[in-house]
Every structure is written in structure tokens, then in C-alpha cells.
Structure 1
Amino acid sequence: MASSMFFIICILHSAIAITSGSLIMIYLEEISVVGHGTETAQKLLGSTPDDRSLIQILHFLCGFASVCSWAFWCFMVAFVKDREFQSFFAKGCALLHVSMALWRFYFERRVEDLAWDWPKQVAGDFVLALSWVFFIVYTWREKYD
């Protein structure tokens, strides 16, 4: 039962990474407006043509890295049946999401243009971490029952 739960969580995280990475690569301006608002999105996308080009290339590479590395990595790991590895992987992913939430809390909220966006992003990080924590608790319960 734990293996199927691990598979589902990995596939879900893979789908989220593919979706968000693809949207960043293809619809950067629209996603920025939805995520940050029109005024902030215009500031974040650069003021000069050179800045805009550089920022678009950076976002494309970040989206591509999200799709190619994280999404495919989660997809491949979903098929691992070793319980020790699953537990180790889940702990690492939970730690990664909590670390990202702490980084947003301590640093991203200080950026004036992003000051209103960090609470929803921290909430998203905690929700993603919570899915791994539920898996860890479930496997502990299964192990010690």
C-alpha cells in the first residue's frame, strides 16, 4: 500500500513540475501577471529590451530545468519499490520544500516587489511538504503496527 501511495505522490509532484515549468517556458508574461499582478509583472520582466531578453532566457531555462530535471526525476523515482529509499526520498523532499518556504519567509519577503506574494508561495511549499510528511507518517504507522 505504501508503494502505491509513494507512486501517486511522485506522479502528482511530477505533473505539478511539468505544468508549472511548461507554463513558465511558454506563457511567461501571462503567468507573471496572474502570479504577481500587472504592475509587479512589468517590473519583474525588465525595463530595457536587453533586460527583457535576458530575463526571458533565464525563465525559459528555469522552466526547462523544472520540466527536465525535477519532473522526470520524480517520474523515474516513482517506480522504485525499495521502502528504505522511498522513506529517504520523502524526507529529502519534505526538507527541500520546508527549506524553500523558509528561504521565501526570510529573504523573498524583503524584496519590495514580491512582498505580497510570499505568503501564498510559502503556503504552497508547506502543502507540497505536507504530502511527503503524510507519506512518512503512513509508512511509520504501517511499519510499527
Structure 2
Amino acid sequence: MAAGAASSTSGIFASICLLQSAMAATCGALMMFYLNEIAVVGHGQETARKLQGSTPHDQLLIQTSDSFAGFLLFAIGLLLFMVSFVKDRDFQAFFAKGCILLHGAMALWRLFFERRLEDLARVWPRQIVGDLVLGLSWVLFLVYSWREKYD
């Protein structure tokens, strides 16, 4: 394989990683610090109020849980940023396959569990589409890298 093809594949891998890193880190930071505002924008005023809990104990528990989820999402964004600089083609393919599995598992989780929640009934189809699009970006990377490998 030519050196240009290897750098082309690495460039695409880095671009996908950096794009998804920016999305994850931004969403994670917003979840940690502006959860109520983001919930109103994403779900509407009434649903956001329902998702906050009804008792002070529930509200604290839900807020702590959501902040921790935001922190984990921010950490995933940082991890994706670090991984974007890896040049090993075998690792890139392995990482892409793992990301496809994670996005697929998340879509299945939303399909089988989140759709049962009445308060999230309007949101889960959009989220499944988002999960599938993010997974598709990794599938396209694998197809492109396989095409470069076998040409």
C-alpha cells in the first residue's frame, strides 16, 4: 500500500474521532453544568420537569446521576481525542468495530427499554437515528480502509 493511502485512512479516522470527540465532550459538559436547560430544549418544559423527580431526595439522586453520566460522556470525548492521534491501522480497525458495537448496543437499548418510558416517547426515535448515523460513520471508515487495503 502506498504511503498516501495510509495517511488518507489515518486522516479519516482522526476526523471521525475528533468530530465525535467534540460532540461527546460538549454534550457531557452541558449535562454536568446545564442539565435543566438542555432538558427543556430537548424534551420540552413539562417533560423536563417530570424528569427532575418529585421529592428533594429524588431530585438530588437524579441530578447526581445525570452529572456523573455527563462526566463519563466528557471522559469519552477526551478518550476519543487521544485515540484520534493513533496511526496503527490494525488498532483503528479494531477501535472502529468496537464503536460500531457500542452504537448498535445503544440503539438496541433505546429500542427495547427507553421507548417504554412514556415521558421519552417523542425522543427515542431521533436518538436511535443518531446512534445509527454515528455507527454508520465507523462502518464507512471500515469500508474505505478495506477498499484501500485490497486495491
TMscore range, shorter length: over 0.9
Identity of aligned residues (%): 61
What displacement does 1:143 show? Answer: 0.7
TM-score (norm 2): 0.92
- Of the three residues 84, 103, 114, the one matched with 2:90 is 84
Q: 1-side partners of 2:54 and 2:116: how far apart?
A: 21
* Structure 1 stretch displaced more, 48-57 or 129-138: 48-57
Superposition CA RMSD, Å: 0.9
Aligned: 1:74 with 2:80 = yes
TM-score (norm 1): 0.96
Aligned counterpart, 1:38: 45
- Of the three residues 116, 121, 134, the one matched with 2:140 is 134
- Of the three residues 76, 100, 123, the one matched with 2:129 is 123
**Unmatched runs of 5 consecutive residues or more in structure 2:** 1-7
Runs of 4+ in structure 1 deviating by more than 2 angstroms, as ranges, are none
Q: Structure 2: which amino acid aligns with 1:90? A: A
What displacement does 1:97 show? Answer: 0.3
Aligned counterpart, 1:24: 31
Number of residue pairs matched? 144
Q: 1-side partners of 2:108 and 2:48: how far apart?
A: 23
Q: 1-side partners of 2:62 and 2:118: how far apart?
A: 18
Aligned: 1:103 with 2:109 = yes
**Unmatched runs of 5 consecutive residues or more in structure 1:** none
Q: Structure 2: which amino acid aligns with 1:89? A: F
Q: 2-side partners of 1:108 and 1:54: how far apart?
A: 19
SS of 1:46's partner is coil
